[in-house]
Amino acid sequence: MASRCRCSPLRWRLTPGCICRDERAGMNWIDSLAAPLFVSWQLTRACDLACLHCCTDSAPNKPLADELDADAAMRLAEDIVRHDVPYVMLCGGEPLIVPYFFDIAEYLGRAGVKLKIETNGQRFDAAAAERLKRLPIRSIQISLDGDTQDVYGRQRPGASLAKTHAACRAVRDAGLPLEVTFAPTRMNIHQAEAVIARARDLGAFRFNTGALMRIGRAARLWPRIAPSEADYARFRETLHRQQHIIDDTMQFCHDPFAIEAGLQQSLGSPPATLMVLPNGWVKVVAAIGYVCGDLRRMTLTEVWDSYRAAWRNETVLDAIRRAIAAEAGHADANTWQSIPDEGAVT
């Protein structure tokens, strides 16, 4: 059972022993946990869209060659349940194009695992919402990257804004919690205020945003799509203004704003999160390419051990420090590689 830490009463500790003393001894707070508190699981790299800002390089018919099949995915779901992981996000690519998406969601949900589903909304309809509402859903997160078809479609070629709005309504009509996310680019940042208003009207309880990540396709198209400093200054002003106007109806989630600030926080207190790639590999953090385990060959306990060891590994920590210092280096984050001296993930 969790109790408050005596050294820092704002923190909770989950096991006997003092986390702060552990940290002073070169340990991290996650070393006191037997399993992750959160698994972010990319079910596939494939997507029905090919957005310009995509950090996972997703596109139609572009799954990884070695993605988990239905049986391997179910074995991983069983391992997650066995390890009492309380919270899982199913994402991609687009998770709803995965034929066994509902099998995994229903297995996890019926076992009591709380779920977040991240979708582009193009195929999320009333039937999907009806099925999911029987599960412990923390949120359905839908991307709203524009408030007119013209702007939305320029960033998400071929996507329908009307379908995305319909998906948001399907979520709310089923009584499910809706989160909206907005990825700012040079193309859509001027519509931020309208998207915030739209998200509120659609009944979102949270609006997520932050600086565009320079990973994947976004990195390749960076000069074309990255907002300028002046764009960001106006955007942040808008966020702060809107937050004060409507903060009791919708939470704003934009801190840390840039991925570098998030990495800095993680250096001080690593997240209790496993980021699972579609082939079962597990990344240490999104902005660097190091992989600390392979869930096809290792149990979740073994991968959790390697993940925690990665946060004490000087090579990994140096790479994170470099990623904090130079955003351009994030462009290599999808070139996955084993951590030197930690054994190859093949």
The answer to whether residue 19 forms part of the interface with ligand SF4 (CB under 6 A) is no
* Cα distance between residue 245 and residue 299, in whole Å: 48
Binding segment for ligand SF4 (CB under 6 A), chosen from 45-53, 271-279, 322-330, 335-343, is 45-53
Q: Which is nearer to ligand SF4, 49 or 89 (CB)?
A: 49
The answer to whether residue 97 forms part of the interface with ligand SF4 (CB under 6 A) is no
Q: Which is nearer to ligand SF4, 108 or 218 (CB)?
A: 218
* Cα distance between residue 38 and residue 20, in whole Å: 22
CB of 49 to ligand SF4, least distance (A): 4
Q: Which is nearer to ligand SF4, 212 or 300 (CB)?
A: 212
Name which position in 19, 30, 39, 47 contacts ligand SF4 (CB under 6 A): 47
Name which position in 5, 50, 309, 317 contacts ligand SF4 (CB under 6 A): 50
Q: Which is nearer to ligand SF4, 93 or 289 (CB)?
A: 93
Strands ordered across the beta sheet of 290-294 = 251-253, 206-209, 178-182, 137-143, 114-119, 87-91, 38-42, 273-276, 281-283, 290-294, 337-338
Name which position in 30, 39, 51, 167 contacts ligand SF4 (CB under 6 A): 51
For 149, the 3-state DSSP assignment is helix
Number of residues counted as binding ligand SF4 (CB under 6 A): 11
Task: Tell me which H or E stretch contains 81.
Answer: helix 70-82
Binding mask 187-226 for ligand SF4 (x = CB under 6 A): ----------------------------------------
Site for ligand SF4 in 103-122 (CB under 6 A): 120
Name which position in 36, 63, 93, 227 contacts ligand SF4 (CB under 6 A): 93
Structure tokens given for 159: 């996507």
Name which position in 28, 32, 44, 58 contacts ligand SF4 (CB under 6 A): 58
First to last CA, the chain: 38
Q: Which is nearer to ligand SF4, 92 or 270 (CB)?
A: 92
For 25-54, b where at least 16 C-beta lie within 10 A, e where not — what string?
eebbbbbbbebbebbbbbbbbbbbbbbbbb
Instruction: Name the residue with tokens 């979708």.
Output: 119
Number of Cβ within a 10 Å radius of residue 326: 10
Phi, psi of 141 (to 5 degrees): -105, 125
Q: Which is nearer to ligand SF4, 259 or 272 (CB)?
A: 259
Q: Which is nearer to ligand SF4, 20 or 50 (CB)?
A: 50
Peptide bond before 93: cis, by omega within 30 degrees of 0? yes
Name which position in 36, 63, 92, 289 contacts ligand SF4 (CB under 6 A): 92
* Cα distance between residue 346 and residue 339, in whole Å: 12
Q: Which is nearer to ligand SF4, 49 or 286 (CB)?
A: 49
The answer to whether residue 185 forms part of the interface with ligand SF4 (CB under 6 A) is no
Q: Where are the alpha helices (DSSP H) in 95-220?
A: 101-110, 126-132, 149-155, 161-173, 192-201, 217-220
Q: Which residues bind ligand SF4 (CB under 6 A)?
A: 47, 49-51, 54, 56, 58, 92-94, 120
